[in-house]
Amino acid sequence: MFMRSYSEKEMKDLRCTFEKTVLSWSHVTQKKTFGCPSYQAYGKTFAILVTKGVLITKIDQAVKDTLPDQHQDGAIHTAKRNIEHWVRVPINDEAEMEKIMPIVKKSSEIVLQEE
- Give the chain's residues under pLDDT 50: 1-2
Say if 108 falls within a structural domain: yes
Say if 2 falls within a structural domain: no
Q: Which domain holds residue 77?
A: 8-114
Please report, for the domain that includes residue 90, its CATH number: 3.30.1460
Say if 19 falls within a structural domain: yes
Pair 56, 107: CB distance under 8 Å? yes
| Amino acid (1-letter code) at residue 18 | F
Question: CA-to-CA distance for 23 and 47, rounded, in angstroms?
Answer: 12
